């Protein structure tokens, strides 16, 4: 929570409204969350990260007994 997003219950309308208002009011928080989210996405979903994950799956499949 407040690291690379806000954790809220999506069914809680008051919580969603409050979180949206907080992000709209607090530009520093908004910018920090956006920057950390960008870093996280680039790290986890980069081409090299995806290639590594796919290679790992293939390695597991090739090394497991039939």
Residue by residue, DSSP assigns 10-40 as TT-HHHHHHHHHHHHH-HHHHHHHHHHHHHH
Q: What confidence tens digit (pLDDT) does each residue in 5-32 have?
A: 899 999 999 999 999 999 999 999 999 9
The structure's pTM equals: 0.64
State the residue for tokens 């950390």: 36
- pLDDT band of residue 3 (cuts 50, 70, 90) is confident
The answer for 46, left when phi > 0, alpha when psi is -120 to 50, beta otherwise, is: beta
**CA–CA distance, 29 with 4 (Å, rounded to integer):** 10
- Give pLDDT, residue 66: 62
- Give pLDDT, residue 28: 95
- Give pLDDT, residue 64: 73
Q: What confidence tens digit (pLDDT) does each residue in 43-54 have?
A: 989 999 999 999
Name the 3-class secondary structure at 1.
Answer: coil
């Amino acid at each position: 929570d407040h690291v690379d997003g806000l954790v809220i219950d999506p069914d809680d309308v008051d919580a969603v409204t409050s979180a949206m208002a907080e992000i709209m009011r607090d530009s520093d928080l908004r910018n920090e969350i956006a920057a950390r989210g960008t870093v996280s996405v680039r790290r986890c979903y980069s081409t090299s990260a995806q290639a590594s994950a796919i290679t790992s799956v293939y390695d597991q499949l090739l090394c497991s007994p039939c």
